[in-house]
Structure 1
């Protein structure tokens, strides 16, 4: 499964009445595909998936699949803490033509390692497209340990792990023990370059909404052996990345998109807009970045 070096975890645009804005979605897709994105993840955390109904998710997935029209791979976030519900949504997304499924580790239930492995095995058995394992202990509370990820890599359809543990040591261990049987992507934009340095494949990104070209240039410089240039770009974009995650995701990135003329509307509760002071703080970071 090839999702490129930069896969964007896409926001879900909303209209003023709170419904999904499909015209804005189409414009967002074209913006992303023209600024370095090589695949799209829809209905993930950045897409405010906890507030989307199953019907909304399926309609949104279908729309994106049709609009992208095989130009880049589409990965649908279909995981939850309910295994049977995850299987149902995964099968329905697969029927809509997605290229892969992203399955988050079960949150709130706090399963042990055997439970998490069984969860993924059940979903993999019930589907046929490639699976991206999404490990994000900061949100799910549980950490899918490297040994469990290595065990899951033996399942043919489990081909990628999105590692958002924030631990480069954990990512390195997975890379060492899966021996190219599993592609490792960072779930943290700030770790993109460090992960590449230890053999990772790329980033499933939020920041690529607004700095995708620079991120792509950094990755290309790294692969061309120009590590000094890659490091320089990393340093330049790091303040923006930090600023994008100063408040709950995708609060800041939706505001940042508005600053570059890509309007995606507001947020759904329980997320709320940034205050005037918070916007000014990000504006300062953004203006400094543009001046570099």
Structure 2
């Protein structure tokens, strides 16, 4: 790995703290951002899937981005998830968010519309041409129904100077390999799934946009740093030790159990908004057992 990626290697997709009325808790947002940076995060993604982007409405997204920039913007890059399934809306919103002092954008493959590859390409190209900030593409077919193929990602990487990375959550390692091998210098491929990070970094990936990074940032940082150093044996051991929790956090829809895990750690960030529902007592008990097993929660 020739160079440090511009946004670093361990990037939590931060959860969005709510108060007891499920309203945005700005003080807790700022405290959590600081906690994650103190834990070793290289950058923060704000209001991604783990940040409940579908249910944090646009004025609240602005408030959220502003709060994080104010709290940690001088310490790490703050990346705002602005992606939508309407290209024109994404462009308008990205331009508005750029004024807040964020350092980059994440944009998801358009969900629900099911665009063909050419539509995906045109969508991202239009956004890239409309803004100056760097963009991380986000490919997650499990949520978007369509997979952005390697050729589409590479076309964007080559043709749009500000398309600088992709968060790959397709689960297709052959696709990830094709992107890593075909990408221009400086284009970063991030794992979009904690459990796949080791395998993706072995293929030349840059790191992870992480869910578990909310709960155990230092532990996830250790794994990506060992991978980046080429210390595969130690990385494999660290990865295996944390794997039960990487998988355990996804036993129900994300981020239900991430928020529950933070509560168990004594750093409550509120519940989730409907149509998600908070963890059941049984789910919480099982999660606590896994957290103790991997050494994230004191026995």
- Cα RMSD (Å): 1.3
Q: Do residues 15 (structure 1) and 19 (structure 2) align?
A: yes
1:50 alignment partner in structure 2: 54
2:181 alignment partner in structure 1: 176
1:267 alignment partner in structure 2: 272
How far apart are the structure 1 equivalents of 2:214 and 2:143?
Answer: 22
| Cα deviation code 1:192-236 (max 9, x no counterpart) | 111111111000001011121111122222333432111111100
Q: State the secondary structure of the residue aligned to 1:15.
A: coil
Shift, 1:99, TM fit:
0.6
* 1:138-287 alignment, distance < 5 Å: 138-154=142-158, 155-287=160-292
- 8 Å Cα contact 2:73/2:102 also seen in 1: no
- 8 Å Cα contact 1:9/1:40 also seen in 2: yes
- 8 Å Cα contact 2:34/2:71 also seen in 1: no
Q: State the secondary structure of the residue aligned to 2:24.
A: coil
Q: State the secondary structure of the residue aligned to 2:215.
A: helix
- 8 Å Cα contact 1:27/1:262 also seen in 2: no
- 8 Å Cα contact 2:139/2:148 also seen in 1: yes
1:95 alignment partner in structure 2: 99
Structure 1 stretch displaced more, 47-56 or 174-183: 174-183
Structure 1 unmatched runs, 5+ = none
- Are the structure 2 counterparts of residues 179 and 128 from structure 1 closer, same or farther at C-alpha, using a change threshold of 3 Å? closer
Shift, 1:179, TM fit:
4.2
Structure 1 stretch displaced more, 195-204 or 279-288: 279-288
- 8 Å Cα contact 1:153/1:181 also seen in 2: no
Q: TM-score scaled by structure 1?
A: 0.97
* 1:49-128 alignment, distance < 5 Å: 49-128=53-132
Q: TM-score scaled by structure 2?
A: 0.95
Shift, 1:25, TM fit:
1.0
How far apart are the structure 1 equivalents of 2:111 and 2:176?
Answer: 21
- 8 Å Cα contact 1:10/1:40 also seen in 2: yes
Structure 2 unmatched runs, 5+ = none
How far apart are the structure 1 equivalents of 2:22 and 2:178?
Answer: 43
How far apart are the structure 1 equivalents of 2:104 and 2:73?
Answer: 15
| Cα deviation code 1:92-128 (max 9, x no counterpart) | 1111111101000000000000001000011011100
- 8 Å Cα contact 2:43/2:76 also seen in 1: yes
Q: State the secondary structure of the residue aligned to 1:62.
A: helix
Q: Do residues 131 (structure 1) and 135 (structure 2) align?
A: yes
How far apart are the structure 1 equivalents of 2:124 and 2:242?
Answer: 35
Q: State the secondary structure of the residue aligned to 1:153.
A: helix
Shift, 1:269, TM fit:
0.2
